[in-house]
């Protein structure tokens, strides 16, 4: 067993850290207050190659492994959750779905521009009436010659107003007993007739990001945009979540570290009763727990990333990492505010933003309740992962790095 990161890993970490410290952290508080995404964020992430970090060079990416993706997400969310959310939907839920399930033609048409950062991807699963209960979603796709006609509304969609390509899951078969077998995945370009998008305002967190809705009215989508077979939509969505959850967990790990760093700094500076508050055992306890949780979250994420590199099925391990890391980040943020006393309650310090941002991640990509049930079902033997028609390819450095 080797716990070392490679030199490449460390250099990427440093590069992304330099980027966030120079171009994100100094102004993120203002954008959060304005409830707007800073206009330079997505283009810069594209230009720098972050939006294609773990996609093979032959598909326009940078050719790094899945562990690198996790490390990048950790660094991004250390600065602000909205940057990691970009990676969750654009990379984890959309681009990696294309890498896993897309035809060569779809990879050329969608994955290449996304990996190059020329186009942004999003993921449209949730609807106003169906979140955790994916199998009951009601958007429809009806075959019309060689096309499909899509109708329905997707809600709570990250990057709704920024994305060019949304991976949408809709119902194609209404007769089936088992509802999850009637779903199909499509790549919907947001500039098609009948697609309208908008942002939701008044969110608790991820305020410097875009979260919105994507409505489809008689949107004509050619067959070539169908991802996978008819009826494979549920499986595709779940396998995309294996990758999205990985980015969420990795990001939450970075958020715990941000809480820890802010708390340590404050506990060394702030004095009460004649001593720095770091001297008090009850403050030490909070900091000790943050440090423990950071390490645990990181180990769980690295294990999931390693399994992805090896090409091993990691649904269970990724769920575990996402569940633990996001719950722990919510606790860490709350405790970080506590350490800061009244100052933590104001936006003069970043910890209140950390708390607001951390709450989303225990809801999306499988709420903590859903992950609790998943883990119990694995333990009880009620759940087993069956092989998929298309598995996420193991990381093969030669294939990833060859410039074809």
Partner 1 sequence: MKIIVCVKQVPDSAAAMSVEDGKISWGDAPLVINPWDEYAVEAALRLTEAQGGDVIALSLGDENAKEAIKHALAMGCSEAILVNDPAMAGADTQAVARVLAAAIQKIGGADIVVFGKQAIDSDVGATPSMVARLLGWPAVTLVSEIVECTQSEIKASRAMEEGRQQVAAELPVVLSIVKDYGEPRYPSFMGIRKAARASVPEWTVADTGIDLPSAVVTWPNVMAPPEREVTNEIIEGSNPEEIAAKLADKIMEEKVL
Ligand X SMILES: Cc1cc2nc3c(=O)[nH]c(=O)nc-3n(C[C@H](O)[C@H](O)[C@H](O)COP(=O)(O)OP(=O)(O)OC[C@H]3O[C@@H](n4cnc5c(N)ncnc54)[C@H](O)[C@@H]3O)c2cc1C
Q: Judge contact between 371 and 328, C-beta under 8 A.
A: no
CA distances from 205 to 180, 245, 330 (A): 31, 18, 12
Among residues 12, 41, 98, 125, which is the contact residue for ligand X, using CB under 6 A?
125
Site for partner 1 in 249-278 (CB under 8 A): none
Q: Which residues contact 169 (CB under 8 A, 6 or more apart)?
A: 124, 125, 134, 137, 139, 183, 184, 185, 186, 233, 234, 236, 237
Supply the DSSP symbol for 227.
E
The DSSP secondary structure of 21-44, one letter per residue, reads HHHTTTTHHHHHHHT---TTHHHH
Taking residues 334 to 373 in sequence order and writing x for each that binds ligand X by CB under 6 A, - otherwise, the string is: ----xx-xx--x--------------x--xx--x-xx--x
Taking residues 288 to 327 in sequence order and writing x for each that binds ligand X by CB under 6 A, - otherwise, the string is: ----------------------------------------
Say whether residue 7 binds partner 1 (CB under 8 A).
yes
| Of residues 360, 343, 206, the one with CA closest to residue 262 | 343
337, two tokens: 């505010």
Active-site choice (269, 317, 365, 391): 365
Among residues 29, 131, 194, 393, which is the contact residue for ligand X, using CB under 6 A?
131
Task: Determine the residue with CB nearest ligand X.
Answer: 131
CA distances from 101 to 21, 226, 228, 308, 309 (A): 36, 10, 6, 16, 17
- By beta-carbon proximity to partner 1, the closer residue of 22 and 178 is 22
Say whether residue 19 binds partner 1 (CB under 8 A).
yes
Among residues 18, 224, 295, 391, which is the contact residue for partner 1, using CB under 8 A?
18
- By beta-carbon proximity to ligand X, the closer residue of 12 and 85 is 85
Q: Which residues contact 242 (CB under 8 A, 6 or more apart)?
A: 314, 315, 318, 392
**Which of the choices partner 1, ligand X, none does residue 156 contact, using the CB cut-off of 5 to 8 A by kind?**
ligand X
Bridge partners (DSSP) of residue 171 are 140, 183
Among residues 104, 146, 273, 384, which is the contact residue for ligand X, using CB under 6 A?
273
- By beta-carbon proximity to partner 1, the closer residue of 350 and 366 is 350
Say whether residue 48 binds partner 1 (CB under 8 A).
yes
Residue 321 CB-density burial (10 A; 0-12 exposed, 13-18 middle, 19+ buried): buried
User: What positions carry a catalytic annotation?
Assistant: 365
Binding site for ligand X (CB under 6 A): 89, 123-126, 131-133, 156-158, 206, 211, 270, 272-273, 277, 280, 282-283, 338-339, 341-342, 345, 360, 363-364, 367, 369-370, 373
């Amino acid at each position: 067993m080797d716990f070392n990161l490679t030199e490449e890993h460390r250099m990427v970490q440093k590069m992304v850290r330099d980027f966030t410290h120079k171009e994100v952290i100094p102004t993120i508080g203002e954008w959060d207050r304005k409830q707007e995404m800073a206009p330079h964020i997505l283009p810069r992430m594209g230009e720098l190659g972050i939006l294609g970090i773990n996609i093979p060079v032959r598909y326009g990416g940078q050719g790094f492994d899945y562990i690198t993706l996790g490390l990048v997400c950790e660094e991004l969310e250390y600065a602000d959750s909205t940057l990691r959310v970009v990676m969750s939907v654009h990379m984890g839920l959309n681009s990696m779905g294309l890498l896993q399930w897309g035809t060569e033609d779809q990879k050329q048409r969608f994955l290449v521009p996304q990996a190059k950062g020329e186009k942004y991807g999003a993921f449209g699963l949730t609807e106003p009436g169906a979140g955790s209960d994916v199998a009951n979603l009601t958007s429809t796709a009806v075959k019309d010659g060689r096309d499909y006609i899509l109708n329905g509304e997707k809600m709570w969609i990250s990057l709704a107003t920024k994305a060019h390509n949304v991976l949408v899951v809709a119902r194609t078969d209404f007769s089936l007993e088992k509802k999850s077998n009637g779903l199909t995945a499509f790549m919907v370009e947001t500039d098609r007739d009948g697609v309208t998008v908008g942002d939701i305002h008044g969110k608790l967190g991820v305020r410097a990001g875009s979260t919105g809705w994507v409505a489809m009215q008689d949107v004509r989508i050619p067959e070539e945009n169908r991802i996978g077979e008819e009826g494979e939509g549920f499986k595709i969505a779940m396998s995309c979540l294996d990758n999205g959850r990985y980015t969420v967990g990795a990001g939450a790990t970075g958020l715990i570290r941000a809480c820890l760093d802010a708390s340590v700094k404050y506990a060394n500076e702030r004095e009460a009763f004649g001593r720095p508050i770091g001297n008090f055992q009850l403050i030490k306890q909070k900091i000790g727990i943050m440090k423990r949780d950071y390490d645990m979250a990181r180990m769980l994420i690295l294990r999931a990333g390693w399994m992805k590199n090896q090409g091993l099925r990691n649904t269970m391990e990724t769920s575990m990492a996402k569940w633990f890391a996001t719950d722990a980040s919510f606790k860490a943020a709350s405790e970080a505010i506590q350490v800061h006393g009244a100052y933590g309650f104001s936006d003069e310090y970043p910890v209140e933003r950390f708390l607001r941002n951390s709450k989303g991640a225990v809801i999306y990509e499988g709420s903590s309740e859903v992950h609790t049930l998943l883990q119990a079902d694995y333990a009880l033997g009620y759940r087993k992962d069956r092989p998929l028609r298309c598995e996420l390819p193991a990381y093969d450095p030669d294939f990833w790095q060859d410039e074809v």
